[in-house]
Structure formats: structure tokens, C-alpha cells
Structure 1
Amino acid sequence: MAEYDRMNDLELVNLIKSGNKRAFAQIYDRYFGVLYLHAYRQLRDKDEAKDLLQDLFSYLWSHRESLSPSSNFSHYLYMSVRNRVLNILAHKYVEDKFLLSLSHTGSRAEAVTDHRARERQLAVIIEQEIQLLPPKMREVFELSRKANLSHKEIAVRLGLSEQSVRSHVKGALRLLRSRLGLWVYLCMIAGAIAGAN
């Protein structure tokens, strides 16, 4: 290897182009250390820096025939490392943004799923409380809130006076409010929460 030590980069590159492995080993030994430090300073990851250099030298060997000999081969190597570092950093940036968007999407999806689960639980609780109402009151209330019938329609269907229907609905709401709490009661009045279907 002594004769290769004395060769300049241009001479070594010309030999590499013709498939000379010893010339390639000389370039590798000459530049690996400084290029590794250059990559590591940017990436702050030893394994990533080593992988980058291994990929670069593998690429150089597999594309040796298309190498353009230059008096400034070291500049070519530094620029190759720089470009690869930039590609890695750009990929990480895109990946981080993608993962962040997934994380946010996941959080929103979990929040929606959690909200729907709680809404279903609440609907079940409301339905249980409705079933505990006195029979006639429950029947009137269900026709009012589930079938969306008017007081007049309920009165005709059940053979009751409209005043009686109104009293049953008010009584049901009063009982449900006392059992379920004001917030649930208001939601139910507003129609935001329907009974379990």
C-alpha cells in the first residue's frame, strides 16, 4: 500500500475507475475519518453517520466507472456527504411532521371515540331512568320525546286531555332532572342527547 500512499486523489480515482480495489481502500482510509466527523457534527448520531459513510463509499464503488476525476476530489466527497446529510434531515423533518399529524389525528379520533362512548353510556342511563317513570307518564314522555308527537297528537292517541299530557311531560322532566342532574336534563331538553335506540 506504500505506493498508493504517495498517490494524489486524481491518480487514485483513475485507478478506481478501472476497478483497482487497493486504490479504493486508500481513498477510504484517507477520507473516512474526516468525513465521518463532518457527518456526525450535523446528524449527532454515530450510527447514522457511519451508515451514511458506508452508503457513500458503496455508491462510489458501484458507480466507479462514471466517476469524474478531479483535482479537488475531497470537495466532491464533502459535497456528497453534505447532500446526504441534508436528505436525511429533510426526511426526518417530513417524517416528524407526518408522525405529529398522525398523533394529532389520533388524539382527535380518540377524543371523538371517547365522546361517542360517553354519549352512548349517558343515553343508556337516561333510558334506564325513563323506564323507571310511572307507566302512563313514561308512555306520554316517550311519545313526546322519541316519537316527536305534539301534545295534541298524544292526547288523541291516548284518549287524554292536552292538559293531562302536558302535566305528564312536565312531571317526567322534573323527575329526570332530579335523578340525572341539571346538565343532562338541559341536554335532553335541547335534543342533544336522545334516548338509546
Structure 2
Amino acid sequence: MCIITELKAGDEKALKSLFDEYQHAVYYYVFDKTKSVYCSKEVVQLSFIKLWKYRHNLKENVDISYQLFRIVRTTMIDELRKIQSNYCIENLSHSQTQTEELEETISYNDTRKKLERLIGLMPPLRQRVFYLSRINNYSHKEIAQMLSISPKTVENHISLALKFIRPFFTLILLLSTI
């Protein structure tokens, strides 16, 4: 009985025999084309699964190796397309993430520059108090000691700075979202 007839009859031993005979040839054929161990192993597995699944379509008058390698070739092409598609999707996703991060950085830097311009319009001592408090995170007590002023004066400068910045900054943020 020929191997194709045995396969069509559902003989798993025939499939195992075919696998043992051709697995290395299939692997090296795919590896020669792709230079990928992963792809080669995947195509070997998928090709024999397809051979078994579609065994009823095998032609008894056509050599089994020819039919097997037709399956291998189409499986390899499908696998390469799948890998390329996944690569493109990953790159697109990565590129989109990078673009979003860049937009956030640009927006942050733009907002920061606008804030610095507003701070620059305040009196020098108020600027220094504001920077020490809001940018460098010093406490009112620490700022008072550094600048030799009272904590109440520090509090007053922060309050006046915020009152000065808030209306302009709110307007800037509203305009940037339009």
C-alpha cells in the first residue's frame, strides 16, 4: 500500500513515518530561505499538521515529497507574512507611542517656557521665593532661613505669585487645548 493511501485511510503511523523521513529536509529547506530557527521549526510543525488535516486532498498519482513541499512552501510564505505583519504592527504601535511621548514632551516644554516667562515678570525676590518653593520643593521655613526673611513673608510672596500666575496660566492652558 502506498503512503498516500495510508494517510488518506487515517493511518497515524504513516504520518509518523513521513515525519521522521522528511522533518530534517523540511527544516533545512525553510532555514535556507529564512535563516530563522523559530520560523523553520514552526513551518515544520504547521506543514505536517496541514498534511494530516488535508490528507483527503492528496493525489495518489503525484509524488508525496512534491505535495509535502508545496504545503511547506505555502506554509512558509504564510508564516513570513504573519511575522512581517506582527513586526509592522509592533513598529506602528512603538512609533505611535513615541509620537505621543514626543507630543507630551513638547507640550510640557512649551507650558514650562510660558510659566517661566510669567515668573520672569514678577519682582526678583518673589521669583526666587516661588522657584525655591514650587520648583525646588523647599518648605516656607527653609526658604525664610535661606533668604533671611520671615516665614510669613515667604507665604505672602507665594500667595501673590500664585494670584499673578493663575489667570494668565489658566488662559494659556485653555488656548493650548483649542
User: Which TM bucket (shorter chain)?
Assistant: 0.5 to 0.7
How far 1:112 moved relative to its partner?
Answer: 1.3
Residue number among 85, 93, 99 corresponding to 2:84 in the alignment:
93
Structure 1, residues 35-75: CA drift from partner, whole Å, max 9, x if none?
11101112222232122111221222233334332332211
Who wins on radius of gyration, i.e. which is larger? Answer: 1
Partner residue of 1:62?
53
Output the CA distance in 1 between the equivalents of 2:93 and 2:12: 47
Distance 1:98 1:22, change over 3 A: closer
Distance 1:96 1:56, change over 3 A: same
1:124 and 2:105 matched: no
**Structure 1 counterpart SS, 2:121:** helix
Q: What's the TM-score once normalised by structure 1's chain length? A: 0.57
How far 1:20 moved relative to its partner?
Answer: 1.5
Give the residue type in structure 2 aligned to 1:111. Answer: L
Output the CA distance in 1 between the equivalents of 2:26 and 2:61: 18
The aligned runs of 1:177-192 (5 Å cut-off) are: none
Structure 1, residues 77-98: CA drift from partner, whole Å, max 9, x if none?
1111111111122222233333
Partner residue of 2:169?
196
* Unaligned ranges ≥5, structure 2: 125-166, 171-178
Contact 2:46 2:75 in 1 (8 A): no
Output the CA distance in 1 between the equivalents of 2:50 and 2:71: 11
**Structure 2 counterpart SS, 1:71:** coil
Contact 1:123 1:195 in 2 (8 A): no
Distance 1:21 1:69, change over 3 A: same
CA-atom RMSD in angstroms: 2.3
Give the residue type in structure 2 aligned to 1:24. Answer: L
Q: What's the TM-score once normalised by structure 2's chain length? A: 0.62
**Structure 2 counterpart SS, 1:131:** coil
Partner residue of 1:18?
9
Give the residue type in structure 2 aligned to 1:75. Answer: Y
Output the CA distance in 2 between the equivalents of 1:63 and 1:12: 14
Contact 1:13 1:67 in 2 (8 A): yes
How far 1:195 moved relative to its partner?
Answer: 4.1
Partner residue of 1:159?
none
Output the CA distance in 2 between the equivalents of 1:41 and 1:99: 26
Distance 1:28 1:97, change over 3 A: same
Output the CA distance in 2 between the equivalents of 1:119 and 1:195: 14
Give the number of aligned pairs: 128
Q: Among all aligned residue pairs of Structure 1 and Structure 2, give the percentage whose two residues are the same amino acid.
A: 16
Partner residue of 1:46?
37
Output the CA distance in 2 between the equivalents of 1:103 and 1:54: 31
Output the CA distance in 2 between the equivalents of 1:89 and 1:62: 21
* Unaligned ranges ≥5, structure 1: 1-6, 134-193
Output the CA distance in 1 between the equivalents of 2:102 and 2:38: 38
